[in-house]
Amino acid sequence: MKLLDKYIIKEYIRFFLITSVSFIALYLIVDFFEKIRMFLSNSASIIQIASYFFFSIPLIISLILPAAVLLATLMTYSSLSKFSEIIAMKANGISLYRISLPVLIFAATVAVSLFYFSELITPAAVQKAEHIVIAEVQKQKTLGFFKQNELWYHSSNAIYNFKIFDVENNILRGVVINYINPDFTLQRRIDAERVEWKNGKWIFHNVLVTQFDSTHTPFLEKARQKIIPLPEKPNDFKIIQKDAEKMGFFDLRKYINKIQSEGFDATRYLVDLHGKIAFPFVTLILVLIGISFSTRSARQGGVMQSVGVGIIIGFSYWIVHAFSMSLGRSGILPAILSAWVANILFLAAGATLFFRTRT
């Protein structure tokens, strides 16, 4: 049996490497043509371009591994079925469940590895790739940064500090703006619960404006709502938005605890947090579906038909997953359900197909 396991795993790893490398290459080619004009217009060096794509690879790997696992499963078991090897195994008393075991174990290993890879490698690589484009190629000054679970932005005469930037609605929450004099003394401070961009203006809600005179005496002004002109636009703050893909699971959880403890809504981040756990497990689910379809259809329609069906299944999963995640971020579905609903639906379908397949 060990010899059989080695044979199946050897075939599987061969297809897995082929599909993984193919997906990575395809992704890089598309990304290259999307960004080549930007690189050329900024006179980027070969080293800068190569470095950007090198540090883009970890994120690509995190995204494509489930698809690579699915296609490798389809190609492996379709190949075994096409040449009657699965029939021969069954004739010798080996069930489909036992034939599937090596690949299921491999998929479980990939799922665990993907979680830790996305935790330890991907966030740092994403930030490095972004730094290369913004700071080295486009030569933009780093005006903003993320520190101690807060967002900071430095303009010519002010320092902005806010807890959350809602990119979709252009809303800043937990805002503090300090205006500095040339002699580095505090000129004015603005505290606001919420600041929203509406009709080309920044509207401050529950705002406290503290103005300091030449003797540093404070003068306070409170307002439930006040329009205060700011030179910055929403796009200026997007560069420092703390995206979930730039954080590992534990960093994201710490960030969520921080903003929740201060009374802010962390729904979109909770959805992403649960998604970081749910997403790696799709590898196991797609293996179940892949084995079921490849052993059912390979003899009738051939390997290519199985692969085609698998691609349709893969795209169907991405659509359902993306849709449910968007419902979660909008608050329509609970965060944990929105992250797992695609897995639950496809696991039910995959398990049904798998256990109905002739063993």
- HEC string for 266-311: CHHHHHHHHHHHHHHHHHHHHHHHHHHHHHHHHHHHHHHHHHHHHH
Q: Which domain holds residue 161?
A: 143-238
pLDDT tens digit at each of 359 positions of the chain: 578 888 889 989 999 999 999 999 999 999 999 999 999 999 889 999 999 999 999 999 999 999 899 989 888 888 877 777 777 877 777 777 888 888 999 999 999 999 999 888 998 898 899 889 877 888 766 555 555 456 777 777 788 888 888 777 888 888 999 988 877 788 899 999 999 999 989 999 999 999 988 777 888 889 999 999 888 888 777 766 656 667 788 888 888 887 787 677 788 889 999 999 999 999 999 998 888 877 765 555 556 666 677 778 888 998 999 999 999 988 899 999 999 999 999 999 888 888 877 65
Same domain for 160 and 121, yes or no, is no
- Per the CB < 8 A criterion, the answer to whether 114 and 20 are in contact is no
Whether residue 295 lies inside any domain: the answer is: yes
The answer on 322 and 269 residing in a single domain is yes
Nearest to 244 by CA among 86, 328, 119, 346: 119
Which of 238, 257, 275 is the C-terminal boundary of a domain?
238
156 backbone dihedrals φ, ψ, rounded to 5°: -65, -35
CA dihedral (19, 355, 322, 264) in degrees, to 10, reads: -120
Q: Do residues 301 and 322 share a domain?
A: yes
**pLDDT at residue 148 in the model:** 47
Whether residues 172 and 233 fall in one domain: yes
In this structure, the answer to whether residues 29 and 91 fall within a common structural domain is yes
**Can you give the pLDDT at residue 359?**
58
Residue length, the chain?
359
Note whether 88 and 49 are same-domain residues: yes
Q: DSSP letters along 49-108, please?
A: HHHHHHHHHHHHHHHHHHHHHHHHHHHHHHHHHHTTHHHHHHHTT--HHHHHHHHHHHHH
Asked if residue 244 belongs to a domain, the reply is no
Question: Is residue 138, in this structure, part of any structural domain at all?
Answer: no
Domain end position, chosen among 190, 219, 238: 238
Is 149 part of a structural domain of the chain? Answer: yes
Cα 160 from Cα 176, distance rounded (Å): 6
Same domain membership, residue 184 and residue 35: no
Tell me, what's the pLDDT at 121? 92
- Total domain count, the chain: 2
In a domain, 258, yes or no: no
Does the residue 21 lie in any domain? Answer: yes
Q: Classify each residue of 93-118 as buried b or exposed e, where b means 16 or more C-beta atoms within 10 Å of its C-beta.
A: eeebeebbebbbebbeebbeebbebb
Q: Return all residues near 222 (Cβ < 8 A) that are at least 6 apart.
A: 207, 208, 209
| 180 found inside a domain | yes
Q: What is the pLDDT of residue 165?
A: 81
Final residue before a domain boundary, out of 238, 273, 302: 238
Opening angle at CA 41, ends 40 and 46, nearest 5: 30
Cα–chain center distance at 344: 20
In this prediction, residue 34 carries a pLDDT of 92
pTM: 0.76
Within this chain, do residues 74 and 195 fall inside the same structural domain, yes or no?
A: no
The reported pLDDT for the residue numbered 77 is 83
Regarding whether 181 and 217 lie in a shared domain, the answer is: yes
Q: Which two tokens stand for residue 282?
A: 């799709």
Return the pLDDT at 204: 95
What is d(CA 207, CA 172) in angstroms, rounded to the nearest whole number? 13
Same domain, 223 and 308: no
Q: Is 249 contained in some domain?
A: no
- Asked if 95 and 124 sit in the same domain, the reply is yes
pLDDT of residue 240: 63
